[in-house]
Amino acid sequence: MNKIKAFILRRLPFLTNPEGPWPTVFRLMRESGKKHTLGYIIATVFMALVALTAALSAWILRDVVDQVFVDQDLAVLSGLVIAVIVISVVRGISLYGSTVTLTRVGNAIIAENQRRLFDHILGLGMNFFDRTHSSDLIAAMSVRAQAAGQLLNTILTSFVRDLLSVIGLVAVMIIQSPWMSLIVLVVGPIAIFGVNHLVRQMRNMAKMEFAGMTQIIASMQETAHGMRVVKAFNLESAMRTRMNQAIETVRQRGNRIGAIKAQTAPLMETLGGFAIAGVMLWAGYQTIYEGARPGAFVSFVAAILLAYEPAKRLANTRVAIERGVVGVQFIYSILDTKPTLDTNPDGPELKVERGDVTFRNVNFHYRKKTAVLTDFNFNAPAGKVTALVGPSGSGKSTIISLIERYYDVQSGTVTIDDQDISKVRLASLRDNLALVSQDTVIFETTVRENIRFGRPSATDEEVEEAAQNAMAHDFIMALKDGYDQELEDAGKSLSGGQRQRIAIARAMLRDAPIILLDEATSSLDSESENQVQIAFDRLMKGRTTIVIAHRLSTILSADQICVLVRGNVVESGRHAELIAAGKHYARLYYLQFEKHADDEAAALANEKVAALG
């Protein structure tokens, strides 16, 4: 078998050309089509019957014309009528069977690739999402995933039903009149040459069409997510212009693709016209001068006409394959992306007894290679509240990301209770962490299930207890359906404080020993912040907590406050100690105090800030 495969590949090198469609097609057959071999066998049987009935339909016309219309043999008529009915019924059933079977197999392949793609995406690190636009992922899961099932169905339909139909009908032509068949067979190579020219144009146009569709999705996402900003700044005209440009680009490319595909029709029509004209000329000569019976001619012409549609579809097959391969190649480009993080599925479990978090000589940078942390050392004591403050870009959120192990450090270690988090099973690490961020994520499901995401095995009673501790129970019960209220569109029907308290309830239900709070109150009003702060106090009790806060008023009671500047801890201590030291923290505190104090206090703050330099 391997020798036969090697022989074929040597004789047909285009099958392994990496720039061509066939390596992608073969991979799709190997990874997706192989699972549905039985379905494809059934569809092949049905399509072979379709091809056979097409050939029989043309063949039987010779007897209809010669024995019924010329010889006027009544006895033969009834048999031919029954034969035509049987052929028609078998053809109809076979067409239905092949269509339904291929549809089911195609949908199964689409679903399998969507599941496989989504599962793979979930396993990729944050660096993949940093460089990949969400519109590309949406397009991959929808438009491009469909290309996988459609591509195999197109190939099977073309190379089984259509090819067998053409072969069967050509066989009828040759049997009826070998000389007339030569006229038709001359047309084939000319058609193939013309179609190959169109295929080269199709590949690039298909890639640009997919890119344009992705741009439309991206523009729609941005507009929907930023609608408040769009309205506030009267950006409707600008967004309309961007969308119109994307739509116009796709329209033009779609028109170009349509024009390329349409060129196969006039090519086939013209060549078919020449073939039929030549056949008519030869048949007319045979009938007039040599007394040939008309049945063979009618059967021959019928075979040509019946072969026209499948031949035209075959001519379009390469064009359709090129278009489908573009989508499949994009899916494979994602599936071939290797996870940058080792999840250590067989590694040791993280065992948290105290909850001590330590950074030792950590160096880290993102893709731009600009160092964010350099020889960074930091410790969050077990069971204490450690607050991180400092200007934007100082590395506060990076510390949270490294503890969650969204990224791995370039050098140094991050440990929890002296266990290197890069060596333990990743899932066990995250089981011991609970994150509440400023960008509260609400999923499109019920309030109850949104909270239960903290611990999927939790009972309804535990969910409601967590909501009560997070001071969310009262507003939840005020909703129309209470805990069973469906939250749509990222929970936009809820206020910022309500969404935040659901997130806190989720973290409480998780009951993790280490809590990470990333500017969780930055967008709340004073009343909401007060309620959320009470919930936070309950959440942090007895747990190691690392807090990032811009509002210094929320961390005055922290056990340790670390001030970060350009990726380094420049000072640390309790609030009173840092104020007394009169350095970075004191300057930040008085500047923030100045924004909220009355005129007299503001003047005093100005004096203190000036004194601090």
Using CA atoms, how far residue 72 sits from 59, 109, 571, in Å, is 19, 54, 111
The yes-or-no verdict on residue 254 having pLDDT over 80 is no
Residue-number span of the structural domain to which 496 is assigned: 357-574
Distance CA 368, CA 53 (A): 64
481 and 603 in a single domain? The answer is no
Distance CA 209, CA 587 (A): 55
379 and 302 in a single domain? The answer is no
Distance CA 491, CA 451 (A): 13
Q: Is 580 helix (H, G, I), strand (E, B) or coil?
A: helix
The yes-or-no verdict on residue 599 having pLDDT over 50 is no
Please check whether residue 282 lies inside any domain of the structure: yes
Nearest CA to 569 among 386, 306, 347?
A: 386
30 and 65 in a single domain? The answer is yes
Please check whether residue 324 lies inside any domain of the structure: yes
**269 vs 433, higher pLDDT:** 433
Over its C-alpha atoms, the chain yields an Rg (Å, rounded) of: 36
537 and 608 in a single domain? The answer is no
Residue 84: per-residue pLDDT: 81
Q: Which residues contact 387 (CB under 8 A, 6 or more apart)?
A: 546, 547, 548, 549, 555, 558, 560, 561, 562
- Residue that is written with structure tokens 């009951």 in the block: 511
Q: What are the DSSP calls for 239-290, one per residue?
A: HHHHHHHHHHHHHHHHHHHHHHHHTHHHHHHHHHHHHHHHHHHHHHHHHHHH
**Sign of the dihedral through C-alpha 523, 524, 529, 535:** negative
284 and 429 in a single domain? The answer is no
393 and 428 in a single domain? The answer is yes
- Write down which residue in 272, 302, 335 finishes a domain: 335
| pLDDT, mean of residues 246-254 | 76
Residue 13: per-residue pLDDT: 47
Tell me the two tokens of residue 245: 């440009």
User: Sorting pLDDT into bands at 50, 70 and 90, what band is 14?
Assistant: very low
Please check whether residue 2 lies inside any domain of the structure: no
Host H or E run for residue 56: helix 37-63
100 and 122 in a single domain? The answer is yes
Residue 8: per-residue pLDDT: 46
Tell me the two tokens of residue 33: 């089509």
- Write down which residue in 335, 367, 387 finishes a domain: 335
Please check whether residue 6 lies inside any domain of the structure: no
Q: Which residues contact 120 (CB under 8 A, 6 or more apart)?
A: 334, 335, 337
Average pLDDT, the chain: 79
| This prediction's pTM | 0.73
pLDDT tens track for 519-561: 766 555 566 667 667 777 777 888 899 999 877 877 888 899 9
| pLDDT, mean of residues 103-109 | 89
Please check whether residue 1 lies inside any domain of the structure: no
pLDDT tens track for 367-407: 767 788 999 999 999 999 999 998 888 889 899 999 999 99
Using CA atoms, how far residue 329 sits from 149, 206, 343, 583, in Å, is 13, 12, 27, 57
Do residues 215 and 246 make contact, with C-beta atoms less than 8 angstroms apart? yes
Nearest CA to 356 among 305, 296, 403, 309?
A: 403
154 and 192 in a single domain? The answer is yes
518 and 606 in a single domain? The answer is no
595 and 539 in a single domain? The answer is no
Give the CATH number of the domain where residue 552 resides.
Answer: 3.40.50.300
The residue type of 270 is T
Please check whether residue 348 lies inside any domain of the structure: no
pLDDT tens track for 463-500: 999 898 888 888 899 999 999 998 877 777 888 788 88
- Judged by average pLDDT, the poorest of 94-103, 121-130, 191-200 is 191-200
Domain count, the chain: 3
| pLDDT, mean of residues 210-216 | 68
175 and 59 in a single domain? The answer is yes
Please check whether residue 342 lies inside any domain of the structure: no
Cβ count near 210 (within 10 Å): 23
The yes-or-no verdict on residue 600 having pLDDT over 50 is no
Give the CATH number of the domain where residue 223 resides.
Answer: 1.20.1560.10
532 and 599 in a single domain? The answer is no
Please check whether residue 452 lies inside any domain of the structure: yes
